[in-house]
């Protein structure tokens, strides 16, 4: 707030003050103190576009990092391409930085239109992907596009979530705050005297993942991060409770895919990545611990604005949920958006509202403008296609793990209810069983699966958080995979997150978000939701390699014929199932569609009385979560027209 000028003290009539030994100058009234004026780009509580984007300063610097993982005897350097207003530089007005650090600027592109950085013949950057530069630079921000180590013009070698990657990007923030060194292309020193040092990192997928990792270092100057569909633990990106998602597209492959160095330079690093990831075991080890940011949430000093697709099968929802919970435990200021599409940027599923919200978020945290964004509801959730609601927090206020029993039902289809079940049921593994067949027609007998259904709901049911399955099992062989799916049965329009575009399609029309130049326009093709009417939707999934039931680091085989209690989490979810819908739990064993099982062919016997689904629900006082059911209801759910596969999961990992 501007400080008011000091007012003169008025002399009260009739009072005579005698001052001795003071000069006449000291008898004068104190001078008024002028209120500091706001910079031109601030209008009240928001930044406005007043600076010339076409005439902005565009430059590249090479920031020195603390590591030398390419072994050439010199500290590795990361390249930072910058664009900032010329007017603020001339006036000596210091500005904050919006940063997107990425491995994709040259190999693959960013955004729905796969834009790349482009350069003039003299090396000057002429095009930045995405709209951040076009929109924020005229509003008094700098934009920094950082190339990871080993990509584009940066030196070193990519280590995929490891120390090189995280400390390389952290070095840029240190340099922006006067704690590091950088040079221009000609070797002359580069100093960031033009910035306040306040940095906001943003990015989707891998870009957002490194934002999580850098925030977990506690680096000073990083004021906020906006991780979109971001990884919080690289182990959990490649595995789930010991169950492997892939053996072909691991960190070594990914490092090579984005590599910008001569292949022989970084092959030793890729060999180390392959050895460290222990693809043959599915174990969690020191390699994966280095790439797990969740334990260091206690170090985070930045605010966090999480954005995630609730149906994301690439970076699954467990990533935002475990990160969010850790941030909450440590009192980190935060906000969350949960949309219905899959691995999609909010710019492509709620564009106007996203740009406006992001603008206010950065204004608050980087420009110190008290615009009230932190007094608004913490969570914004898409309940149905383009139906959004605001919530005070996430998970839902008062949500708790409600124990749901598994019953035998009619002998073919089991039940979900309140009374513990009796007896046992058995599942014999069918590795050829695909998800569509596993979850459709739940009242039919299908080899390799067991379905449990609730009665039709007698009121709306809010599921908010992370479901968990506990089974008492007896296994016919030393190991098997266990797979679980939570299914919403009932005909309704839903976003087609399993189809092309993961719920969105690209239109022929464009909209513009910021200023443009001939080489860098701010216009992007619009998108729309792909909505289908379907009879069911798989809400969430989860897998367990049974040998990893007690430890991710030291798997132990099972003894055939002996009973074990195993518990595993499904991916986080948030949904309201309307009255009349049926909730289903589908159990299978090996899942060759989504995972790479280490063992197949087992038969598993399940003790129903000692097995539970722990459902995260939010209830009004006195309400029951599920009506009791003695026999499974008849549910007709024909096969869906599309299904995901292990191959499609890795087709577009960006």
Burial tier of 61 (Cβ tally within 10 Å: 0-12, 13-18, 19+)? buried
Which is catalytic among the residues 76, 174, 240, 312? Answer: 312
DSSP code string of 365-393: HHH----SGGGS-SEEEEEETTEEEEESS
Q: What region does 561 belong to: left with phi over 0, alpha with psi -120 to 50, or beta?
A: left
CB atoms within 10 A of CB 293: 30
CA 606 to chain centre: 35
d(CA 536, CA 488): 5
Torsion sign, CA atoms 147, 153, 158, 164: negative
Both tokens of 199, joined, read 């940095």
Which is catalytic among the residues 41, 343, 548, 614? Answer: 343
Helix or strand holding residue 620 (H, E): none
Both tokens of 350, joined, read 């709620």
| Contact between 536 and 564 (Cβ < 8 Å) | no
The answer to whether residue 519 is catalytic is no
Which is catalytic among the residues 154, 205, 277, 497? Answer: 205
Residue that the structure tokens 């850790």 belong to: 326
Both tokens of 318, joined, read 């467990």
The answer to whether residue 312 is catalytic is yes
Residue 346's closest CA among 390, 307, 385?
A: 307
Residue 385's closest CA among 331, 348, 340, 333?
A: 340
| Contact between 400 and 422 (Cβ < 8 Å) | no
CB atoms within 10 A of CB 304: 21
Both tokens of 84, joined, read 């900032």
Say which DSSP state 299 is in: G
Torsion sign, CA atoms 424, 430, 431, 435: negative
Torsion sign, CA atoms 449, 454, 456, 459: negative
Both tokens of 573, joined, read 């979810």
Query: What is the Cα Rg of the chain in Å?
Result: 28
d(CA 315, CA 245): 12
Catalytic residue IDs: 205, 312, 343
């Amino acid at each position: 707030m501007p400080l008011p000028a000091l007012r003169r003290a008025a002399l009260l009539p009739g009072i005579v003050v005698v001052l001795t030994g003071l000069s006449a100058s000291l008898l004068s009234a104190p001078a008024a103190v002028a209120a500091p004026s706001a910079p031109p780009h601030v209008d009240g509580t928001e930044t406005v576009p007043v600076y010339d984007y076409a005439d902005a300063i565009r430059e590249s610097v090479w920031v020195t990092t603390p590591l030398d993982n390419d072994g050439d005897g010199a500290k590795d350097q990361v390249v930072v391409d910058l664009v900032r207003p010329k007017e603020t530089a001339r006036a000596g007005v210091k500005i904050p930085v919006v940063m997107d650090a990425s491995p994709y600027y040259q190999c693959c592109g960013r955004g729905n239109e796969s834009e790349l950085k482009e350069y003039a013949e003299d090396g000057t950057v002429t095009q930045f992907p995405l709209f951040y530069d076009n929109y924020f630079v005229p509003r008094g921000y700098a934009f920094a596009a950082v190339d990871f180590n080993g990509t584009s013009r940066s030196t070193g070698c990519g280590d995929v979530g490891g120390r090189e990657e995280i400390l390389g990007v952290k070095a840029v923030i240190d340099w922006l705050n006067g704690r590091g060194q950088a040079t221009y292309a000609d070797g002359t020193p580069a100093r960031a005297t033009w910035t306040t040092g306040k940095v906001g990192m943003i990015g989707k997928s891998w870009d957002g993942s490194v934002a999580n990792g850098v925030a977990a270092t506690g680096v000073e100057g990083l004021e906020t991060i906006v991780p979109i569909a971001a990884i919080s633990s690289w182990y959990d990106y490649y595995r789930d409770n010991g169950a492997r998602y892939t053996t072909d597209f691991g960190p070594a492959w990914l490092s090579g895919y984005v590599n910008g160095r001569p292949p022989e330079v970084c092959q030793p690093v890729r060999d180390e990545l392959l050895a460290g990831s222990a693809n043959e075991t599915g174990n969690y080890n020191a390699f994966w611990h280095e790439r797990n940011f969740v334990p260091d949430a206690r170090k985070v000093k930045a605010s966090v604005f999480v954005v995630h697709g609730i149906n994301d099968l690439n970076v699954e929802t467990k990533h935002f949920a475990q990160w969010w919970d850790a941030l909450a435990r440590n009192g980190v200021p935060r906000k969350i958006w949960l949309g219905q599409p899959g691995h999609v940027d909010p710019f492509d599923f709620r564009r106007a509202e996203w740009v406006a919200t992001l603008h206010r978020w950065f204004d608050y945290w980087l420009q110190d403008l008290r615009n009230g964004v932190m007094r608004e509801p913490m969570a914004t959730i898409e309940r149905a296609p383009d139906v959004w609601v605001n919530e005070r927090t996430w998970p839902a206020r008062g949500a708790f793990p409600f124990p749901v029993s598994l019953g035998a039902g009619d002998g073919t289809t089991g039940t979900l209810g309140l009374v513990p079940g009796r007896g046992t049921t058995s599942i014999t593994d069918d590795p050829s069983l695909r998800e569509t067949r596993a979850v459709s027609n739940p009242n039919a007998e299908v080899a390799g699966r067991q379905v449990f259904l609730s009665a039709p709901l007698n009121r709306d049911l809010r599921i908010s958080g992370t479901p968990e399955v506990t089974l008492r099992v007896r296994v016919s062989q030393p190991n098997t995979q266990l797979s679980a799916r939570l299914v919403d049965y009932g005909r309704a329009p839903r976003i087609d997150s399993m189809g092309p575009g993961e719920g969105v399609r690209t239109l022929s029309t464009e909209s513009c978000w910021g200023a443009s130049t001939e080489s860098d326009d701010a216009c992007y093709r619009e998108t729309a939701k792909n909505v289908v009417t379907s009879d069911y939707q798989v809400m969430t999934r989860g897998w367990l390699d049974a040998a990893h039931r007690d430890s991710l680091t030291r798997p132990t085989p099972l003894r055939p014929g002996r009973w074990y209690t195993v518990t595993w989490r499904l991916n986080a979810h948030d949904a309201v199932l309307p009255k009349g819908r049926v909730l289903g739990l589908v159990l299978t064993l090996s899942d060759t569609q989504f995972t790479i099982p280490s063992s197949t062919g087992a038969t598993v016997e399940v003790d129903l009385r000692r097995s539970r689904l722990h459902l995260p629900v939010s209830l009004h006082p006195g309400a029951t979560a599920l009506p009791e059911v003695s026999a499974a209801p008849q549910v007709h759910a024909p096969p869906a027209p599309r299904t995901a596969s292990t191959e499609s999961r890795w087709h577009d990992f960006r």
